[in-house]
Chain A
Amino acid sequence: EDQVTQSPEALRLQEGESSSLNCSYTVSGLRGLFWYRQDPGKGPEFLFTLYSAGEEKEKERLKATLTKKESFLHITAPKPEDSATYLCAVQAYGGATNKLIFGTGTLLAVQP
């Protein structure tokens, strides 16, 4: 069964303190791995799509990387406005849809 596990569940950082979030996945055939940011009570905001092992993408203070078993979201010198829940999701090959299978997210709090 396709599955996504994110760790840690929660992370508290000081402003400027870099760290990484982990997303481990088990999928029959990976079509794509997605990172979203979600603020409380709002819909997920698309950040990155990664398609193959070794791929990396960057946006401002965020960098996402992908291996055959996991993805990391690296946050460099975070600011308080980076505080949010970060969700990881996978799409698998096969089936009629491109449905997303999500992890439970990492709640990030960045303190000034």
Chain B
Amino acid sequence: DAGVTQSPTHLIKTRGQQVTLRCSPKSGHDTVSWYQQALGQGPQFIFQYYEEEERQRGNFPDRFSGHQFPNYSSELNVNALLLGDSALYLCASSDQSEQYFGPGTRLTVT
């Protein structure tokens, strides 16, 4: 049984560019959450998707947007990248309560 998968593993972008990160949830999970983890910090909640709808958003600007597909996979889009967007982006899937994380995408903005 495959766990949560994310792609790509690493990504380098320039300020002002746009990026799309992808996540496939654990089998049987219908809810996907995205988190941003800066170096030395705990993960920060960005938003959560369920039934293809955004259910709640954390304290992140509108430059951060997402999508969930009918097969429950999800994308995170970030527009107009800033240096401060450099971080590990984590996807977590869940069915009821416990959330299982993917390996993350390391985004570096230069």
Question: Measuring CB to CB, which residues of chain A are less than 8 angstroms from any residue of chain B?
Answer: 4, 31-32, 34, 36, 41-46, 49, 87, 89, 91, 95-105
Contact = CB atoms under 8 A, between A and B. Distances in A.
Interface of B: 4, 6, 31, 33, 35, 40-45, 48, 55-56, 58, 88, 90, 92, 94, 96-104, 106
B97 A91 contact: yes
Contacts, number: 66
B43 A44 contact: yes
The 3 A-B residue pairs with the shortest CB-CB distance in the complex, in nearest-first order? A102-B42, A43-B101, A97-B56
B98 A46 contact: yes
B48 A97 contact: yes
26 contacts: A4-B42, A36-B101, A41-B104, A43-B6, A43-B90, A43-B101, A43-B102, A44-B90, A46-B99, A46-B100, A49-B97, A87-B42, A87-B43, A89-B43, A96-B55, A97-B33, A98-B31, A98-B94, A98-B97, A99-B48, A99-B58, A100-B99, A102-B42, A102-B44, A103-B42, A104-B41
Which secondary structure dominates where chain B touches chain A? strand
Given A43-B90, A43-B104, 11 more contacts: A34-B99, A36-B101, A44-B43, A46-B98, A87-B42, A95-B56, A97-B33, A99-B33, A99-B45, A99-B48, A100-B33
Contacts of A96: 55-56
Nearest to B98: A49
Contacts of A105: 42
Contacts of B97: 31-32, 49, 91, 98
A91 B99 CA distance: 11
Between A100, A101, A104, the greatest number of chain B beta carbons within 10 A of the residue's beta carbon is seen for: A100
